[in-house]
Structure 1
């Protein structure tokens, strides 16, 4: 072996050490981010995936998401976290790894101070390795402490990669130190030649060896704990399958997250207790935390509405906007470079002629004119993007409107109108989110990456390292503080929404407020809601100031370090003054996107909180939908048949239980009985508001579930008890049943409903506005308008739901005549409490507990002397007493009190009883009579 052979081996080891020092933090960071991304995707709950429902599309032909039922959510499998004790092991081991890098830095600094006269220095690659690795393993430690579950397979695989590279570094160091080598220096001179391992080198190797042992311990403990958890889960699985082990619980049930056997809450004595779940669109106070991948996957539902697929021109505009964004990134690099060139020219460095500075200044002004969001390029991009934003907002808003209208009745019965309207209005939040991500966040990240590359190439690795560390620290601090403020912002948003709800509900209930003189109560309620919101707003703004100070401190420290480095290099002649100006200008430019990220993260968090409600609203699915490949109802004669129909709003209480009846075409069937007997449910099921739980409903021999909902409802007309009209003119409300109807057709329908002449007496005739919900019209006028537009629809089946219940006797007679005309030649189902209005019905069904208790014509039912006869006697008695009370009241008004006889005065005492008291007494007397034997 010659004397030069050790130097060849030494040079090779030195090259390996240098390259690995530079590559170590980069490889480890990229690997961890990649592993974290893959792990997040693979472990995301599968039941939240937005999928197209087979053969069904949502608003605008887009796929509907699968809604997660409460039972599915409760059973959703999540990755298990380690116990606190085991997690503490990883925390302390990770802290030990971080401390080893801190020890390396202390060794380097002390060594440099001790050997100052020999100008010893570890070298740039070692500084990069120590500082970057310190922050990298600190990031790992923070991720273990902050996130759940942790550590994960991403940490485990990253530790393995780090262990391999640490072993390579240790091997290269031993190869160098064990042979003849020369110590590095900070200057241009040569360091001392060493023939063996020095004390400093031995300490360094010891620290590296401790670090390797700690990383090995992290890997070993992770594998051990995962193996133990897998073994325990396997034992529990065997116990559930019947192989009961000694470790199995006595109840042998599945423990939920709270540790309760079989998932039941302790102390629950009601097995039928159903916990009502708050819908996501209601904006609950606490929302389940989700990973970034779950958010992206959930919000992918909106992407088809955001991309202008219907316009090639708009797609080209999108591409042009992206190109302008890339040009803006190049301008951001040219501005500080041009500032440095002007400085060098003015200072006479590099032999540049000062006369050339005028052209350089003009070029700098041109760059500044083009730079930034308020620059020329930014203004052009914003202008071009306007139709894209309008397209997205239009598609989302109309899609939300269509979707809510497509939901079934069970949703609308349980909704709060203010909540739904507020959630539907959040389409602008999605649009804002898209634009901010596309033209602010992505460009910001590109600017940061370009800045690191620029400093690495044009300056040196120290600047790139400082920029990278400051950027990561700034972003992490921003995200962490924003997460801390998330619940505060969410609470503030909820209180803002609550104040809006109080305001909307109070305005919509204007008459009720006036009826009960509750203005002061409403004022106090709204004022209290505003005060609660302002208290929450104060906390949010205070935490915002804390966040801004912390962000500014991080960036200021980074700027100070880079300025120290640049100033040192300028004073030692390594760099020109223009380079220092470039550094200051570029760092100032970087502060803008970083500061924006803090603002953006808050705004995007607010947008996500708002858009979560729209997303959850989109996830609501209609329960009554057409089956695939279903056909339309070709025609309708009006034959209706209920075959053993069963239905329940709540499984614990059936609404219909084996209901059977049929209606011949052109006949009238009346439904009577006590409240809760199932009368309204019959109408709702026939109109396909709900799905049956048993039996079938047929129209002309076609099962209603085998024909499209739209074609079925096209042949059914409904006159409800409380008619709600749009706040438009009368003609608009009438033509709502048939938009293409002519005015003459409308007039004919109104004549048939006995309302035409009444409308002509209005000051504006058919152009008269009816007010909110039609409140400018009387009850009888609204009912006749409802009858007129049902006549205009010309259905074969008519559903009359207590159409005259709230009207006076005279108006009822007019309405009844109109209803008789409406029912001519049509199959009519009537819900009536006033039996006098359905005496001419072809058949009367007496409903009791979801079944037909009695059936027949009026005379037949009276002859049965059963439930219907009792109801008839009761109503006749009440009517007689009401007539008598009214007659007595009229007599009192017309009699001369001075000529009253004793009998009259006694009668007057009797008349002093209110008619309501007389009616109530008759009802009590009649209800005390038992039904004849044999009747239900």
Structure 2
């Protein structure tokens, strides 16, 4: 049954991004800040070490000046000739070492904050994705979404570790250098440096803002290509069935070609940015050295002053170049983080009511009271459906495909909320209890069983994590799959493959049955639970399921009528309405829709 889309929405003020409009960079930073501030003392310590590193770095050119000027001492003073340069050289080495030491201390102290913030965000996104509605997961593209999360997590590391906490220390270094130039020389050096700095920043910001769209486009095309590749590989057998390997390769290559074009545009704009930055730096450096050279010629400055200014400019060149990279990285990282926060801010269509309490199940009576539902307003699926499953009884629902049978199970699990009416378990409206407790009370064997790419034991034990091997084997025996598992070389350690593709349909179905039996909930749903089994296994498992259902409230959704003849009540659905209800014999006696379906299936068999 096809599911239809929902309008992207968010409860956050920054929600426009979820509708395709990126939030402002400042909003993204504000969104990120609380995760980082959880490690505020480490942040402060890291900043302190970084400031110490910058102070040591600025002190190096001052020592170089003193060392060069000291070399001009008269040879008649041998003590000063050797002691002064030696002391300056030792101080120079100490400052260089302190620069590296403070930098490494910063990295050491801040590593926990960086990794902790990234871990917290990634876990929160993961939890939120599991909390989103079934509608979202039916619409999403797995490859693109996982790529967005991967890039977002990496961007958090980049933004925090290498970008965000270098800005303030770098500005401090600029302030120290400008103050030094103004105090020791004149404001001409300050104005040249400021002019180069302002020109550099203005050029970098302008060009980077222009080229950010190329990066964003690259991300979109990368996610699309990745989604296509993952989708094709997940449907490997379908590709082979229709001999469409070349078709899939061409489709993937088209996406790669679009990505290549966007990447070339991005690289061209990056080369333009780098060239312009180097031109501004070179112009400022030449102007500074020309003025310093004139000062030495005029006798206003020493040779040591010239060396110091040259060293200061070289040291300024490095962080200035880093500021350009920094701004580009921040813009790119914010773009990637924005994608991840967009996922995090996606509104939960089905959420626990304020003050919701756990479901209390003593007698697990299930009631559907005038339930209507539609996946979209223009297409109603259920029309005022009412029925009751008494505690410990079994009710079966039959009918043609598209009648709304499986929708009943999804509503009972609260994957969606009803459009009208209500569903109760033990007299409690399921919208007023926590979803966790609701789903803990229900077990399901779905029609389409998808397994984790792990061992058989893991997939059965998923019904009750922490169950012992003996309990897992007992559930497997009840589902008539233990003999098959024991006959495999690795037994319960056998890997089932992606989505369980290494197992047959019947084997997967029996693993799903064992998983639900292990969970042992008070309410059971069998949604075409034996549809993939042969007749012999179907009869064996049906007998076992009837035994398991004793004393449990059970909803059986079936296409084969032979599997529901023992149900306490059978509901016949057509076009979202219950058209008949009663026991198997009563429905046959009525000679209506059920009787016609029974006759058709019996003649086919």
User: 1:288 matched to which residue of 2?
Assistant: 21
Give the SS at the match of 1:660: strand
Q: 1:335 aligns with which of 54, 60, 77?
A: 60
**Equivalent pair of 1:684/1:690 in contact (CA under 8 Å):** yes
Note if 1:402 corresponds to 2:132. Answer: no
Q: 2:462 aligns with which of 736, 749, 761?
A: 736
Deviations 1:52-107 (A, max 9, x none): x8xxxxxxxxxxx4673xxxx5xxxxxxxxxxxxxxxxxxxxxxxxxxxxxxxxxx
Q: Distance in 1 between matches of 2:176 and 2:377?
A: 62
User: 1:417 matched to which residue of 2?
Assistant: 142
Note if 1:674 corresponds to 2:404. Answer: no
Deviates more, 1:862-871 or 1:662-671: 862-871
User: 1:364 matched to which residue of 2?
Assistant: 92
Q: 1:301 aligns with which of 28, 31, 44?
A: 31
Matches within 5 A, 1:684-763: 684-763=410-489
**Deviation of residue 317 (structure 1)?**
4.2
Q: Distance in 2 between matches of 1:838 and 1:647?
A: 25
Q: Distance in 1 between matches of 2:292 and 2:382?
A: 84
Deviates more, 1:327-336 or 1:443-452: 443-452
CA RMSD of aligned residues (A): 2.5
**Equivalent pair of 1:334/1:367 in contact (CA under 8 Å):** yes
Deviations 1:298-319 (A, max 9, x none): 343333333445xxxxx65443
Q: Distance in 1 between matches of 2:510 and 2:109?
A: 53
Q: Distance in 2 between matches of 1:495 and 1:420?
A: 13
User: 2:193 matched to which residue of 1?
Assistant: 467
Q: Distance in 2 between matches of 1:665 and 1:775?
A: 37
Which one has the largest radius of gyration? Answer: 1
Q: Distance in 2 between matches of 1:734 and 1:471?
A: 64
User: 1:615 matched to which residue of 2?
Assistant: 341
Give the SS at the match of 1:654: strand
**Equivalent pair of 2:455/2:496 in contact (CA under 8 Å):** yes
Q: Distance in 2 between matches of 1:794 and 1:830?
A: 16
Give the SS at the match of 2:243: coil
**Equivalent pair of 1:669/1:829 in contact (CA under 8 Å):** yes
Q: Distance in 1 between matches of 2:434 and 2:552?
A: 21
Give the SS at the match of 1:473: helix
**Equivalent pair of 2:14/2:27 in contact (CA under 8 Å):** no
Matches within 5 A, 1:404-483: 404-425=129-150, 426-483=152-209
Q: Distance in 1 between matches of 2:240 and 2:22?
A: 44
**Deviation of residue 865 (structure 1)?**
2.7
User: 1:801 matched to which residue of 2?
Assistant: 527
Give the SS at the match of 1:648: strand
**Equivalent pair of 2:25/2:334 in contact (CA under 8 Å):** no
Q: Distance in 2 between matches of 1:840 and 1:66?
A: 55
**Equivalent pair of 2:143/2:230 in contact (CA under 8 Å):** yes
Q: Distance in 2 between matches of 1:456 and 1:692?
A: 73
Q: Distance in 1 between matches of 2:144 and 2:275?
A: 36
Deviations 1:882-923 (A, max 9, x none): xxxxxxxxxxxxxxxxxxxxxxxxxxxxxxxxxxxxxxxxxx
Q: Distance in 2 between matches of 1:542 and 1:756?
A: 62
Q: 1:871 aligns with which of 564, 584, 597?
A: 597
Give the SS at the match of 2:372: strand
**Equivalent pair of 1:624/1:691 in contact (CA under 8 Å):** yes
Note if 1:600 corresponds to 2:326. Answer: yes
User: 1:568 matched to which residue of 2?
Assistant: 294
Deviations 1:98-120 (A, max 9, x none): xxxxxxxxxxxxxxxxxxxxxxx
Give me the TM-score of the superposition, normalised by structure 1: 0.60
**Deviation of residue 417 (structure 1)?**
0.9
Q: Distance in 1 between matches of 2:602 and 2:41?
A: 77
Note if 1:520 corresponds to 2:246. Answer: yes
User: 1:198 matched to which residue of 2?
Assistant: none
Give the SS at the match of 1:655: strand
**Equivalent pair of 2:66/2:88 in contact (CA under 8 Å):** yes
Give the SS at the match of 2:380: coil
User: 1:856 matched to which residue of 2?
Assistant: 582
Note if 1:325 corresponds to 2:325. Answer: no
Deviations 1:373-418 (A, max 9, x none): xx33323322333333332232222222212112221211111111
**Deviation of residue 506 (structure 1)?**
2.5
Note if 1:827 corresponds to 2:553. Answer: yes
Q: Which one has more relative contact order, counting CA pairs under 8 Å at least 6 apart?
A: 2
**Equivalent pair of 2:451/2:500 in contact (CA under 8 Å):** yes
Unpaired segments ≥5 residues, structure 2:
1-8
Q: Distance in 1 between matches of 2:37 and 2:547?
A: 53
Deviations 1:137-174 (A, max 9, x none): xxxxxxxxxxxxxxxxxxxxxxxxxxxxxxxxxxxxxx
Give the SS at the match of 1:629: coil
**Equivalent pair of 1:717/1:790 in contact (CA under 8 Å):** yes
User: 1:506 matched to which residue of 2?
Assistant: 232
User: 1:660 matched to which residue of 2?
Assistant: 386
User: 1:44 matched to which residue of 2?
Assistant: none
Deviations 1:768-801 (A, max 9, x none): 2222222222222221221122111111111111
**Equivalent pair of 2:473/2:482 in contact (CA under 8 Å):** yes
Note if 1:837 corresponds to 2:563. Answer: yes
**Deviation of residue 279 (structure 1)?**
5.1
**Deviation of residue 644 (structure 1)?**
1.3
**Equivalent pair of 1:346/1:357 in contact (CA under 8 Å):** yes
**Equivalent pair of 2:28/2:334 in contact (CA under 8 Å):** no
Q: Distance in 2 between matches of 1:865 and 1:738?
A: 44
Note if 1:641 corresponds to 2:367. Answer: yes
Q: Distance in 2 between matches of 1:665 and 1:812?
A: 26
Q: Distance in 2 between matches of 1:499 and 1:847?
A: 42
Q: Distance in 2 between matches of 1:500 and 1:649?
A: 29
**Deviation of residue 664 (structure 1)?**
0.9
User: 1:168 matched to which residue of 2?
Assistant: none
User: 1:391 matched to which residue of 2?
Assistant: 116
**Equivalent pair of 1:636/1:715 in contact (CA under 8 Å):** no
**Equivalent pair of 2:22/2:338 in contact (CA under 8 Å):** no
User: 1:202 matched to which residue of 2?
Assistant: none
User: 1:541 matched to which residue of 2?
Assistant: 267
Q: Distance in 2 between matches of 1:405 and 1:453?
A: 55
Q: Residue 757 and residue 67 in structure 1: after superposition, are their counterparts in 2 closer, same or farther (change >3 A)?
A: farther
User: 1:34 matched to which residue of 2?
Assistant: none
User: 1:815 matched to which residue of 2?
Assistant: 541
Q: Distance in 1 between matches of 2:218 and 2:430?
A: 47
**Deviation of residue 296 (structure 1)?**
2.7
